A = this chain, B = another copy of it.
Amino acid sequence: MALCKSSINGAAVNLLLLVLLLCSYCSQLEAKTHLHKWDVRYEYKSPDCYRKLVMTINGRTPGPTITAEQGDTIVVVLKNSLGTENTAIHWHGIRQFGTPWSDGAEGVTQCPILPGESFTYRFVVDKAGTFMYHGHYGMQRAAGLNGLIIVSPRLGLPEPFTYHHDRSILLTDWYHASTFDQAVGLSSVPFVFVGEPQSLLINGRGEYNCSLVAKTPAPGTGNGSIPTCNSNSPECAPFSLTVVHGRTYRLRIGSLASLSTISFQIEGHEMTVVEADGSYVEPFVTKNLIIYSGETYSVLVKADQPPTRNYWLVTSVVARKPATPNGLAIFNYYPNHPRRNPRTSPPAGPQWNDTASRLSQSRAIKARKGYFESPPQKPDRVIELLNTQNKINGQFKWSLNNLSLALPSTPYLVALKKKLKGVFDAEQPPDQVNLDSYDIYDVAKNVNATSSSRIYSLEFNSTVDIVLQNANTMTPNNSESHPWHLHGHDFWVLGYGEGTYDSNRDPQYYNLVDPIMKNTVPLHPYGWTAIRFRADNPGAWFFHCHIESHFFMGMAVVFEEGIGMVGRLPSSVMGCGKTKPHRSLG
């Protein structure tokens, strides 16, 4: 790059030509740096017509979409204007090779960012695809601190499909209770569950039924001139996606739902799935795309229906008994008015409890021929994680192999790199518990579960298999879906199974031919999911259920690998716990 630049400054034309030739091999030639200045604060907004405090980025929720080209550098200077609350933002799906301190996982990779302070995230987007970002501190993601990252392939690298237009849709669910209310309830004894979300949002817009809200103004609106719920607020006008008949649209769809698994469909239109979590998918056609929190997909949609009217774009809750109305947006055929509702009834989503068809869609997602890297054929280590609901000291928790993660007040990455003692429990968590003796269909009764800050140490560059084993919760005949998200890596999805995993039998049926690489994968009720990854990214990395409340209740583990290779940590990630400035200014 330096060569290219200085040479272009030269005058001789033949030298210039030579340099241009060289530069075609110079992979950094087109790499740009994108500087974003973000101000994070609370503001009153009405995303689903109900007015409440929302965390915004530069006045918006979802925040601005980051767009870049593969190989570019993203710089986000985040100013915390929250008043009394800290923050941190995770770049979901970005692997952070060489910049593990920019992963934004409070407690793992950094201290939180204090009010009044600015923090600079700097990282390279090394892979094309659809990614996301969101708050990764407390339950801030659910407060509206989220958005999309769209990375296009390096110039000249064609994609294995074509389309006319690129559009994106971020799906969320939305609570009227503050994240403080939610968090206190989840950690209360007795437990107070926040319940199902009030709305599903499509690109930050939903429509709550305001007649369900008392007419009294919201607390904090003072003189009462501002109603709590206003169906006519422009902030909750439905999202409208305008299309031209005959054109093909790439829809990038991500979900950062707190709780819900979402079915996405477009009335009268089929979708061809072509990308998942930044990997190309062997195309398949569906009417309902099931999307778990933390996942992204690209689908191709041809605007091939009669263009004389608009169509519904619908989201609905699956995998939990729904108590949240469907989310609606408008698939608008030009030149119909973008706000004109179709006269048809919105199509109903799939049965919420049709686990078989969701499992079937999971299995349908394979890597695209000619566009994938084969997995190592054998793992160096297998970690089986039994997912259970537990009570610890009277509080409801989620545990893996009977351990519920409790973050230390010093981030793991800093403690490991600086060799600080006493930050976290030194012993590793167990690689297995005896699954044979555990009845996954029985009500969870793991009385020995404890809170723990232990982490897994992985050998650098080793191949690690993780088998997630689901089980019954503490409620009879109930097993929940858990979308598991890995930071710092993509993993191959080796297989999904029903019932109890059998370490002798099941690996024989792993897909080692064309497994998709993802960063988030569902664990289905009463089932298991097996993944494989290379521990090739020096750092400390979360692996956790992406349901916000489950994560808050300890449903997470942490891996570390190659810490000796981690570069010099920026001082900005420190300042908490044992990294307070004891000796710096004395």
Contact = CB atoms under 8 A, between A and B. Distances in A.
Interface of A: 42-44, 53, 83-87, 111-112, 114-117, 137-140, 175-178, 180-185, 188, 192-195, 212-214, 216, 218-223, 226, 407-409, 414, 418, 568, 571-572, 574-577, 579-586
A189 to B, nearest CB: 11
Given A53-B180, A192-B221, 8 more contacts: A53-B178, A84-B86, A178-B178, A185-B221, A212-B216, A214-B216, A575-B580, A583-B583
A284 to B, nearest CB: 38
A221 B576 CA distance: 33
Given A409-B117, A574-B581, A575-B576, A219 B53 contact: no
8 closest A-B pairs (Cβ-Cβ)?
A: A181-B220, A214-B214, A177-B219, A584-B584, A84-B138, A177-B220, A116-B409, A581-B581
Contact of A86 (B86, B188, B418, B583): B86
Given A176-B219, A409-B116, A585 B575 contact: no
A452 B111 CA distance: 29
Contacts of A87: 84
Contacts of A218: 177, 181
Given A181-B53, A219-B176, A220-B181, A580 B586 contact: no
Contact of A580 (B85, B86, B571): B571
Contacts of A194: 220, 222
Contacts of A181: 53, 218-220
B586 A581 contact: no
A137 to B, nearest CB: 6
A138 B87 CA distance: 16
A392 to B, nearest CB: 16
12 contacts: A42-B183, A43-B188, A83-B138, A85-B86, A114-B114, A114-B577, A177-B219, A178-B180, A568-B586, A574-B580, A579-B585, A580-B581
A176 B581 CA distance: 39
B575 A581 contact: yes
A234 B417 CA distance: 52
Contacts of A220: 177-178, 181-182, 184-185, 192, 194
B182 A195 contact: no
Contacts of A42: 180, 183-184
Contacts of A177: 218-220
A178 B115 contact: no
A525 B275 CA distance: 67
Contacts of A407: 116
A277 B547 CA distance: 51
Contact of A175 (B112, B219, B568): B219
B176 A84 contact: no
Contact of A577 (B117, B418, B576): B117
A307 B42 CA distance: 54
Contacts of A183: 42, 83
A175 B222 CA distance: 11
Contact of A112 (B84, B414, B574, B580): B84
Nearest to A44: B184
A439 B502 CA distance: 86
Contacts of A577: 114, 116-117
Nearest to A228: B214
A421 to B, nearest CB: 13
Contact of A192 (B84, B114, B116, B226): B226
A79 to B, nearest CB: 10
A509 B368 CA distance: 91
A193 B83 CA distance: 17
Contacts of A580: 571-572, 574-575, 581
The CB with the most chain B CB atoms within 10 A, among A115, A177, A192, A574, is that of A115
A228 to B, nearest CB: 10
Contacts of A571: 580-583, 585-586
A329 to B, nearest CB: 25
A418 B223 contact: no
A585 B87 CA distance: 23
A211 to B, nearest CB: 12
Contacts of A212: 216
A420 to B, nearest CB: 8
A465 B582 CA distance: 39
Contact of A576 (B84, B117, B188): B117
Contacts of A585: 414, 418, 571, 574, 579
A222 B582 contact: no
Contacts of A214: 214, 216
Given A176-B219, A184-B220, A192-B220, A409 B114 contact: yes
Nearest to A410: B116
Nearest to A408: B116
A139 B115 CA distance: 14
A453 to B, nearest CB: 11
A245 B557 CA distance: 65
